[in-house]
Chains A and B, each alone.
Chain A
């Protein structure tokens, strides 16, 4: 047996995992295990900014940020958690700067900030400059900076080791089993604690901004081991993905003045969000795009609309809206501003679309982007086993994989980065404290036997259906039926289809029969994870008979606070599932109608 012993193992090396590693390794012996090289992690693709009420360019307060987060989440946000996140965001963003993060600067040398969807001055209701940014590669700079600090602090990495199983003994976490991708060997990491920071599972859908690696490995394993997942029905579709490809076009384009235009040349967000317009929260904008397309106002009768950042168009609307700079002068943008503030967006459009955003509008459609739900945790990253908040001893999670819940039914732009640094840090600190209080639990007997049996089963078929065929079918039905708008009928069809695919998965054939770097086997195993999450997501969506945030039911179009102001917990129990519910923590902001 390939055996390693640590106080704690962190699974995933994106922003949450690295932040947890930096803090936990101050007082505990920590290993970071990732199926990628850390710098390949998906945090690196975040673009527009990280929200914090620094007030560098105009008045702002963390309480305003917290209210915006609660309202953006359609009142399903736990308000104690939102307060912690938005308060801690300020010191944590400053800490990132102190670590060396190259934020863009204001003329007086402070961290520069830009407007973003749903972030407002709570008095005037107008967009506020809250998103601290490094051009349109803020996530890249966060990931690089945190990895740099991990090198400086000698954090120990196991790169290209794929998490396969969580070990539990005597009711406590006892480590993980991981597959060393190069050799194909299983390794047992024996530890007091495990921290999941594996990100999301956007690859369940056909059109997604998510990397190929985002397959929900950790939540699927937890689900199969009998632990609950929370609020899976809330999955965000970002309004502006590149048409047909899903590659993200940051909300910062609209923050800088960009507008959405339908096939008739109309700025349609005026109808749906008269006050905040194109900077309404993402669920509102994605639904607006769907409705425009459904009513025949897509571009050229197709299923896309335009995102327009051309200076003449933007400046016309900035003037119409009376937008001003912090010094009171009228706001405007130039072609040079686009190249400087949005260089990657310009590059993506030129590379993938042959579109120059300086002179042409960008064709966009909503793209599967972010899991609001996930592994239930408390505000210190402790994994919860039930709706009574009983923690799983030694189990921690943060970042997209976790559901604290700070995003409720819809996440605000920039808050994913805030979430992963704030709760990555808090979880890392709590985990180190835990490790210093407990001894090492015994390993279960034959700890890798379960994983080995699963691999043997996958490799047993000598012919059959390729995983890619099943994956494509799953992604298509999830996109069509478990997308921006849902109905009982669409969801029931999807459930039937996903269950059929799960049956067909028994006949899956892995073409690569070798051990070393067998990514064919690993992609197949990842499909297994995604099918379980697809089933649980669809069931959760069927179960919630109301519309709230990112979960829009055509057959139940109203939010129903009487029956549904609560979090969903779902458990897998053999072939069956069961639900539980947990009240939303409400402190300062009573639910009210959500208008932008």
Chain B
């Protein structure tokens, strides 16, 4: 089937500002949008630029705004998108070229929540730290995050204030706050309790809609808010 891709383009070496360009391309219904973009890039216009790697929704390279929604180009099939498909870079991060945005502000927020296990006790010799099946289950959902930024860049609170840590960083904080092996719960809840922390979330649910890993992000944010209110901070 023949579809039209309407793509928001920006070439930093030529353009003052972003503009739309249209490409007609033949695709199979089960092709990914990434396949369609590749066809344009490989056979029509080599300047079209986007990140991609694994092409099956795990590496997190190709988050884009597709028909108005944040999705991974490799995780949406052409048959879902209709005959005319709009493709734009994710919002709220500086555009470098076409779909490529500067991810550094996003990763800076990730680093700010101390995204690593903190446990100063010497681990047991010759064996693992034990953890019950139930304790492991508490943070299972948030371990799925691939840092694609689809959630954070779909969030109106983040668009309104780029200082907000955003849903992805809260998801990452949740992954450690609710890990029974971690000892920095208070420290992380303090970070989450900051004015640019978890309270900026207005439960718009865009993040849940955007997450290609189907993480229940609003629930994770709710868990963190609840932990703060239950006296997790200041102690």
Residues of A within 8 A of B133 (CB): 105-107, 109
Q: Would you list which residues of chain A between 362 and 418 have a CB under 8 Å from chain B?
A: none
A110 to B131, CA, bound (A): 7
Rounded to whole Å, the gap between the CB of A510 and the closest CB of chain B is 6
Given the contacts A102-B179, A351-B57, A111 and B128 also touching, CB distance less than 8 Å: yes
Residues of A close to B100: CB separation below 8 A: 517
Give the shortest distance, in Å, between B223 (CB) and chain A (any CB): 16
A135, closest chain B residue (CB): B140
CB <8 Å contact, B214 and A98:
no
Hey, which chain A residues are within 8 Å of B147, CB to CB? 37, 39
A110 with B55: CB separation less than 8 A: no
- 8 Å CB contacts to B: which residues of A118-150? 134-135, 137, 140-141, 144, 148-149
Which single residue of chain A is at the shortest CB-CB distance from B35? A245
B contact residues around A111 at 8 Å (CB): 128
Given contacts A94-B126, A94-B128, A519-B49, contact A211 B55 (CB under 8 A): yes
- A440-482 CB contacts (< 8 Å) to partner B: 466-469
| Binding-face segment, B39-47, B82-90, B157-165, B189-197 | B39-47
Proximity string of chain A (13-25) to chain B, C-beta cutoff 8 Å, 1 when within and 0 when not: 0000000000000
Interface residue A557 (Cβ < 8 Å from any Cβ of B): no
Instruction: Check if A39 sits within 8 Å of B146, measured CB to CB.
Output: yes
A141 CA to B213 CA in the complex, in Å? 14
A296 to B132 alpha-carbon distance, docked (Å): 49
Query: Which of chain B's residues have a CB closer than 8 A to the CB of A149?
Result: 116
Give CA–CA (A102, B128) in the complex, Å.
Answer: 11
Q: Do A100 and B53 form a contact, CB below 8 Å, given A40-B59, A109-B131? A: no
Name the residue of chain A whose CB is nearest to the CB of B28: A244
Taken together as a complex, chains A and B put the C-alpha atoms of A105 and B138 apart, in Å, by: 13
Mark out the residues of chain A between 90 and 109 whose CB falls within 8 Å of any chain B CB in the assembled complex. Answer: 94, 97-100, 102-109
Known: A109-B130, A347-B214. A514 touches B54 (CB 8 A): no
Chain A, residue nearest B50 (CB): A519
B105 CB within 8 Å of chain A: no
B47 touches A98 (CB 8 A): no
For A, the interface residue count at a CB cutoff of 8 angstroms equals: 58
Closest 8 A/B residue pairs (Cβ) = A511-B46, A100-B117, A468-B42, A109-B130, A520-B46, A148-B116, A98-B123, A152-B116
In the bound complex, how far is the Cα of B136 from the Cα of A348, in angstroms?
Answer: 24
Q: In the complex, which residues 8-59 of chain B have their Cβ closer than 8 Å to any Cβ of chain A?
A: 11-14, 30, 32, 38, 41-43, 45-47, 49-59
Knowing A108-B130, A141-B143, A511-B47, the reply to whether A37 touches B54 (Cβ < 8 A) is: no
Are A516 and B12 interface neighbours, CB within 8 A? yes
| Interface residue? A512 (CB, 8 A) | yes
* Chain A nearest Cβ from B111, distance in angstroms: 6
- A37–B54 alpha-carbon span in the complex (Å): 13
Measured between alpha carbons, how far is A94 from B123 in the docked complex, in Å?
10
Task: Confirm or deny: A277 has a beta carbon within 8 angstroms of a beta carbon on chain B.
Answer: no
Q: List 21 A-B contacts (CB under 8 A).
A: A39-B146, A40-B53, A40-B54, A42-B54, A42-B59, A45-B54, A45-B59, A104-B136, A105-B136, A111-B128, A144-B143, A148-B116, A151-B111, A152-B116, A212-B53, A212-B54, A212-B55, A247-B56, A352-B30, A512-B46, A520-B41
Instruction: Report yes or no: A516 in contact with B136, Cβ–Cβ below 8 A.
Output: no
Take A511-B45, A517-B96 as given contacts and tell me if A98 and B53 are in contact as well, using a CB distance cutoff of 8 Å. Answer: no
Instruction: Check B156 for interface membership: any CB of A closer than 8 A.
Output: no
Contact A45 B116 (CB under 8 A): no
Q: Known contacts A39-B146, A107-B133: does B13 contact A514 (CB below 8 Å)?
A: yes
- A302 vs B28: C-alpha distance in the bound complex, in angstroms? 19
Q: Quick check: B116 and A151 within 8 Å, CB to CB?
A: yes
Q: Which residues of A contact B111 (CB under 8 A)?
A: 151
Is A182 an interface residue when CB atoms closer than 8 A count as contact? yes
Interface string of B107-151 (1 = CB under 8 A from A): 100010011110100010011111111001001100110110000
Tell me the nearest residue of chain B to A93, going by C-beta. Answer: B128
Q: What A residues does B139 contact at CB under 8 A? A: 102
CA distance A39 to B110 in the complex (A): 12
Q: Which of B50, B54, B136 has the most CB of A within 10 A?
A: B54
Which residues of chain B are within 8 angstroms of A106 by Cβ–Cβ distance?
Answer: 133
Return chain B residues, CB-CB under 8 Å to A517.
49, 96-97, 100
Contacts of B60-114 to chain A: CB distance below 8 A: 60-61, 75, 77, 96-97, 100, 103, 107, 111, 114
CB of A347 to closest CB in B, whole Å: 7
- Of chain A, the residue at the smallest CB distance from B130 is A109
Contact of B52 among A99, A107, A212, A466 (CB under 8 A): A212
B185 CB-CB contact with A under 8 Å = no
Known: A40-B51, A468-B38, A511-B47. 18 other contacts (CB 8 A): A39-B146, A40-B53, A94-B126, A94-B128, A98-B123, A98-B129, A102-B136, A102-B139, A103-B128, A104-B136, A107-B133, A110-B130, A148-B116, A151-B115, A467-B42, A514-B14, A516-B96, A517-B100
